[in-house]
Amino acid sequence: MTDYFSDREQGPRPRIEEVVSPVVWGGIVGIVQSLITTGAFGAKYPELCPDGHGPIGTDENALSLAVQAEMPGLTWPLSTTTTIQQGFFSEIKPFSPDTLLVLDFIEFCYRAVAKPIQGSHHSFFGHYHLQFDEAEGKQAFLEDINRIFSRNNLAYELTPTGRIMRLAPTVLRESLASTRFRSGDTTLDEMLEESRNKFLNPAPSIRREAVERLWDCWERLKSLENPSNKKLSVESLLSKAANDASFRAVLDAEARALTDIGNSFHIRHSEVSQSAVTDPGHVDYLFHRLYSMIQLLLSRLHSAG
């Protein structure tokens, strides 16, 4: 991905934004329109030579029909402005669709894009017959999209699998990317992996599910040392995590607080009296807080044994 002078001088920008702005949407539309013009969607939606010699470009009508069928709510031609009517007056303002719809559209384009390669020239019609390099076309598209994400501080990344991944907050990013869960309990490891995958999902509702799943992990972890007595199991875990009495007291208080949080909010239960956690920043905070505790305990679970 090409960087710019400011990136080299000042370092990468913080990737904290989660809403696709009209400016970002405009850049994405510009990329897609350029690819349509060059025929880059012609491998899947080909405009064919009248003489039957194969693709010569992109059939934009076929592409638009597929987009509208798979992306309900996304209009074609792709619009970057909207008209606001107020009485006799109207005002044109920048526009962007819902963020999740934009991210779905990017994944759709990734599946269809390929680099067009000019073959034989058809002099009668004045066009070239095309072949396609799918891998190179997808890589170029990935780099263009990720550059826009990066330059606009968006916490998303298009991966080589064609899926959009949410970038975790910086303090968690490296740990989430590199950690391999090896608690000794297969079920707990699978639950932790499920929670991590949900937390990296662009959809806020799925990220809330990640917090719920992580609290399930917390309850299971607390019983690993002694399945028949959770209180003794927790004491054993915390003892392994801290020999120092002062820090052990900190961990005792934190363990109780985390359990209380799970019982007070719509995390482990759904009583009417409980509050729902809906703010994405609060979701990140709660995930980070419990994840740090779990990581500490798992790191000492076997080493102190």
- Top mean-pLDDT range of 18-32, 181-195, 224-238: 18-32
pTM of the model: 0.80
What is the C-alpha separation between 265 and 131, in angstroms, rounded?
Answer: 56
Measured CA distances, 93 to 32, 101, 219 (Å): 21, 20, 50
> Residue 176: which residues within 8 A CB-CB, separation 6 or more?
168, 196, 199, 200
Indicate left, alpha or beta for 58 from its phi (over 0: left) and psi (-120 to 50: alpha).
beta
**Is 145 strand, coil or helix?**
helix
Q: For the segment 106-125, what is each residue's pLDDT rounded down to a tens digit?
A: 999 999 999 999 988 888 87
Closest CA to 40 of 121, 132, 111, 103: 132
What is the C-alpha separation between 293 and 305, in angstroms, rounded?
Answer: 18
pLDDT attached to residue 277: 84
Using the predicted structure, report yes or no on whether residue 264 has a pLDDT greater than 80.
Answer: yes
For residue 42, what are its two tokens? Answer: 């012609």
Domain boundaries in the chain? 5-165, 168-301
Q: For the segment 51-75, what is each residue's pLDDT rounded down to a tens digit?
A: 877 899 999 999 999 999 999 999 9
